Chains A and B, each alone.
Chain A
């Protein structure tokens, strides 16, 4: 996979390595194997959500409801565990994903069929999905003691030192990478985002793809809902509140263009990792966690400024000498 790393991804990876090295110089414990494993485990949910968001943004859309869908799916899955603690874990995961798919379909349908702008639809469903947690659960929370062991132990299982969380993220990343690079539909996402008119000429249907990506995003939110709740051992209406912005931030840092059509799996994963490293480094650096939000804000701004610079302005090359100069530069 390293062969497909482009310029931007390589630069981002270098920055992360430099950052890790600098933190390690100050606090050597940070670059110990267990800590690195911990950072990767910690970042897995963010990475999956960011991959889902990237696919949405590729089509020139946005999904602000992702954290709310995560919370609702997590809550419903947890309450299944509360009343039926002895089901196989796949039942809890399956339910969470099914709920996520339904929520994603609602987003996709409103956007693709009614043609309502994605930002408006998902702004609405952001409030609705989170509110449904209270409507559904009556404002109660499900605590660790009520969830049962099967529900809770799954994300903590480890294989080669990494938790299932990490392995699931890896599987999702691989699946998304295969989908985006190796299927017609996946390439179609880049086409509709890059040039919707030309995509129509090529017979690619935007509404169909929109329904698909919002549904996939819902499914991943649902999966992450289960993982989040089982990992942190509590389900209530406020979990992951505001997390959609962190997810979008990971995409932006990873080089996904909000204008659509540009974004890679590797870049997005690195964007998530970047934020994950910062979050985990603050306590090590003995910086109060209150810095976290301000730093990620500053990083987002830096990332958009850098990305914008990479995109060239639309100057025409008409003069022969200008064309020659540009040709020589190439």
Chain B
């Protein structure tokens, strides 16, 4: 069996795959509405849009995880229906996922060929052939590891290379890369771009999803921009500017999106000195004042969440000091942090924030149950009092307060999670990617609300990877890179370019 006859797609220019009037809804959310675009062979198409714009729904439709409600996917002109990931794979579509999802305990060769291992005439796996082909493919992308290494021994970048090799092993005509650079270092990104150039040269269509404009302009030929599940623009990258793309994405220029409130900033509430742990972050020092919104910006994997979770007592620091209102704090668990007046709204809503099987009321009071205990028992009226008040303030949309959290939209879930943390009556609130993956309406409500909190005298830490959000809301921004704070920016004397440059380490290198 030679490699090329596994390829079902035409090479050499022209459309390879097209989406025709795709729509997809979930209970309460219209994820995609009438989206059409074409992928051409030998081209990189950037799929851009804010979190929740519908990019991941498109990826899931292309990879056979979801089936569209309306419209069709055409491969090489023929309409295709993907009932399972296998169907999509068989049509020559391969995806490289945000977090590499593969088999840690198995070898590189097996990871590459899982689901389509070569077999001998007797039906047994042809290990020598599989190893040989794996090494050939790895050599093609200049990988620095062999087919027999166990996946768990590899770095994130190397795992990406395994996934790319996996796509190559099937001669996939369409390769989707969903934020492939998120966890990569500068050099690793250069390697990736070299491979993408090679894929292009071989006539494959690449879908490139990224939030980083410098990468998009460096690697993409065409773009498709989504907003709120609709296609709002597409064309050649050469014909647009970064500013034009940003305004397409957000629909309005940045400074109009986030009207910054004028808030008097008070005295220091929280003082962190030299917070470090062994492998994730080092020497984090900052002060936070009443009414202030302090932004933490950085690439995904820069150690921001890890530092915040340490501050919140989830992990123990190796050294460093934390003072709240001048008093040294000894925090060894989240319970201690909550009692001291620190709340942390975690990044991963589904996993760390929401208890989806419980009702809204039970979620809202979960971090402050002690306040509702009357004579040993929980008092439902007392709980409801808090729930009604916070629910109204956060504009939670629900049928009733006992509704299961899992039945609400992502945005409303997030509002409930934030309500839980306010119910704990904090002095300091840390919001970690508070608008990740929620719809625009909820997003605006959350942004509005963050401003309100600061106005009421809370000290707010906002961890975000969305530059417009950080620049719109924060008074100061600390930029983290590879586990350290590398630069501080003050409102009024910053530029988006400088902040991004600090986060990506460009400035340091120069």
Contacts and interface: CB of A to CB of B under 8 A. Distances in A.
Q: Is there a contact between chains A and B in the complex with CB atoms less than 8 Å apart? A: yes
Interface of A: 178, 181-184, 187-188, 190-191, 194-195, 197-204, 261-262, 315-320, 322, 326, 330
A201 B280 CA distance: 31
B303 interface: yes
Interface of B: 63, 84-86, 89, 95, 101-106, 110, 114-115, 117, 119, 123-125, 127, 153, 278-282, 301-303, 306, 482-484
Q: Which 7 A-B pairs have the closest CB atoms?
A: A203-B86, A202-B115, A322-B279, A319-B483, A198-B101, A318-B483, A182-B124
B85 A201 contact: yes
Nearest to B151: A194
B280 A184 contact: no
A261 B302 contact: no
A325 to B, nearest CB: 8
A206 to B, nearest CB: 12
A200 B95 CA distance: 13
Nearest to A202: B115
Contact of A319 (B117, B119, B482): B482
B105 A194 contact: yes
B114 A204 contact: yes
Given A183-B125, A184-B125, A187-B125, A261 B63 contact: no
A103 to B, nearest CB: 28
Nearest to B84: A203
B123 A183 contact: yes
Nearest to B166: A202
B303 A190 contact: no
Contact of B104 (A184, A194, A197): A194
Given A187-B125, A318-B303, A318-B483, A201 B101 contact: yes
A190 B111 CA distance: 11
B105 A262 contact: yes
A198 B278 contact: no
B281 A318 contact: yes
Contacts of A261: 103, 105
B103 A194 contact: yes
A201 B94 CA distance: 10
Contacts of B102: 195, 198
B103 A195 contact: yes
A324 to B, nearest CB: 11
Contact of B119 (A184, A197, A315): A184
Given A182-B125, A316-B303, A318-B482, 19 more contacts: A183-B123, A187-B125, A190-B105, A190-B106, A191-B114, A199-B103, A199-B114, A200-B84, A201-B85, A201-B89, A201-B95, A203-B85, A261-B103, A315-B280, A317-B280, A319-B279, A319-B282, A326-B279, A330-B153
Nearest to A321: B282
A181 B109 CA distance: 13
23 contacts: A184-B125, A187-B110, A187-B125, A190-B103, A190-B105, A191-B103, A194-B103, A195-B101, A201-B89, A201-B95, A202-B85, A202-B114, A203-B85, A203-B89, A261-B105, A262-B105, A315-B278, A316-B280, A317-B280, A319-B482, A319-B483, A320-B482, A322-B280
Nearest to B101: A198
A100 to B, nearest CB: 25
A118 B86 CA distance: 26
Nearest to A261: B105
B75 to A, nearest CB: 17
B114 to A, nearest CB: 5
Contacts of B86: 202-203
Contacts of A199: 103, 114
* Residue among B63, B123, B124 facing the most chain A CB atoms (10 A cut-off): B124
A187 B279 contact: no
A18 to B, nearest CB: 28
B114 A187 contact: yes
Contacts of A317: 279-280
B301 A318 contact: yes
Contacts of B85: 200-203
B508 to A, nearest CB: 11
A319 B484 CA distance: 8
A261 B106 CA distance: 9
A315 B85 CA distance: 31
Contacts of A190: 103, 105-106
Given A183-B125, A318-B302, A197 B101 contact: yes
Contacts of B281: 318-319
Nearest to A312: B152
Contacts of A181: 125
Nearest to A181: B125
A47 B279 CA distance: 43
A201 B127 CA distance: 22
B45 to A, nearest CB: 22
Contacts of B278: 315, 322
* Residue among B95, B114, B119 facing the most chain A CB atoms (10 A cut-off): B114
Contacts of A194: 103-106
A227 B84 CA distance: 43
A326 B127 CA distance: 31
B329 to A, nearest CB: 24
Contacts of B119: 184
Contacts of B95: 201
A322 B281 CA distance: 10
B106 A187 contact: yes
B101 A319 contact: no
A187 B107 CA distance: 11
Contacts of A198: 101-103
Contacts of A201: 63, 85, 89, 95, 101
A195 B280 contact: no
A178 B123 CA distance: 11
A183 B482 CA distance: 43
A204 B301 CA distance: 31
A316 B114 CA distance: 27
A198 B89 CA distance: 13
A319 B280 contact: yes
Contacts of A191: 103, 106, 114
Nearest to B122: A182
Nearest to A182: B124
B349 to A, nearest CB: 19
B47 to A, nearest CB: 19
Contacts of A315: 278-280
A318 B279 contact: yes
A203 B482 CA distance: 37
B352 to A, nearest CB: 14
Contacts of B282: 319
B114 A318 contact: no
Contacts of B84: 200, 203
* Residue among A184, A199, A330 facing the most chain B CB atoms (10 A cut-off): A184
Nearest to B124: A182
